[in-house]
Amino acid sequence: MTATRIGRLATLAVAALVWAVAAVLLWQTKVPSDLRLPSLDERAVFGASAVRAGEHYERFLNYNWLLGTLATLTTLVVMVRRAPRLARSLGLGPVNSGIVTGIVVTTVVWAVSLPFGIASAWWQRRHGISKQGWDEIVFSPWGVLLGQTAGTVLVLAILLLFAKRFARNWWLGAGIVLLVLGFCLQLVLPYANRLGTHPVRSPQLTAAIKRLEAREGAGHPAVRIEPVHDQTTAANAYAIGLGPSKTVFIWDTMLDGRFTAREVHFVVGHELAHHARLHLWKGIGWGALIGLPILAAVAFVTRRRGGLLVPGGIALALLTITALQLALSPFTNAVSRRYEAEADWVGMQGTKDPQAAKGLFKEFVVTDLQDPAPPGWAHIFLDDHPTPLTRVEQADAFKRLKR
């Protein structure tokens, strides 16, 4: 074995050790590791009619996603075969040719996935979840395409310029730049999202937010109400932002009378917990741990076909990224579900009201037509939150533990 190979193996071993240590640290949460959840029956908890409605609603969406994913992968395989001829016909340099080829490939994939997106929107509209008109359903994806094209140009320019400068290890520098861009997006995006929102106007809710911030150690993120009632009947809230841009957004459908004040307080406690437990920062950490190996794999795969800069190299790279993201989705969803479970736990510690948490999860099954116990494959590949049944079980376990 040569000294060069020994050096590479040693480097890989150290990198694997660092990856494992970082993953273990990021995996840890405040939910007790020995917590035992009760085994509840979803029909007894949510009611047989609510369970049937949720199963019926999500079954279509699950299979629609499955067919759309297969169509996307098939399209990428076809484009990998045809992209080299397209790239050579452009008569451009390797960087510009790669960018144009990437735009063509992503546009074709978008066009193939469009019917599945429209089918999903139709299904949500049919069941009263979406209030979008058909004009918006048909034409809004074109705005998505414009944004996607701009993002594609930026990302591909970074990848290809690094590949031109560093033929073998381009993925490392490109990955670091993309992580920095992701950090900047997390920092800036909340300010854009605040447009069209308004502060909390209820004195009671404002007082509850201050209490929860102090109890959970969440700091003082901005809390904004996002008007969505003219677009959907679903209820939701989410936390985004880093440092000065930390924000909690509450959809105004959470405040339309379907949920009790205690349930709304738990929602706020859950979202504040994401900031208190640094989940957004941890997401960036996972982005590095998962994103860099994906780019390394792209470099390895494309190198066997001549590299990223050869005609059609970008199409192969896009297929590799898509396939790896799909293969890794069970793991990334498991990480997300773990953090969501922690946010539930910290939210219950802050509100001291697991009964309100249970009421919220039960109401979500009715208002959002959630399947409380979805099929295993759908849960593994599609769910970034614990199932409603699991969340109720955790609330019961929390209640027993605190007695």
Give tens-digit pLDDT for 119-134.
Answer: 999 999 999 999 999 9
Same domain, 157 and 260: no
Domain of residue 246: give its range. 198-267
Cα–Cα nearest to 299, from 165, 173, 163: 163
The contacts of residue 355 (CB under 8 Å, 6+ apart) are 262, 395, 399
Please state the rounded mean pLDDT for residues 270-291: 96
Same domain, 278 and 387: yes
pLDDT at 403 over 80: no
Same domain, 162 and 302: yes
Distance CA 339, CA 27 (A): 9
Reported confidence tier of residue 3, pLDDT bands at 50, 70, 90: low
DSSP 261: H
Same domain, 168 and 310: yes
For residue 240, the domain's CATH number is 3.30.2010.10
Same domain, 156 and 301: yes
Buried b (16+ CB within 10 A) or exposed e, 56-80: ebbebbbebeeebbeebeebbeebb
Looking at 267, 286, 305, the residue that finishes a domain is 267
Looking at 243, 267, 291, the residue that finishes a domain is 267
Looking at 251, 267, 283, the residue that finishes a domain is 267
Same domain, 246 and 285: no
Same domain, 75 and 224: no
Same domain, 55 and 185: yes
In the chain, the number of structural domains is: 2
Same domain, 225 and 286: no
**Model pLDDT for residues 231-274, shown as the tens digit of each residue:** 999 999 999 999 999 999 999 999 999 999 999 999 999 999 99
> What's the N-to-C CA distance of the chain in angstroms?
62
**Model pLDDT for residues 351-393, shown as the tens digit of each residue:** 999 999 999 999 999 999 999 999 999 999 999 999 999 999 9
pTM of the model: 0.93
In a domain, 101, yes or no: yes
pLDDT at 1 over 60: no
Same domain, 278 and 318: yes
Same domain, 115 and 54: yes
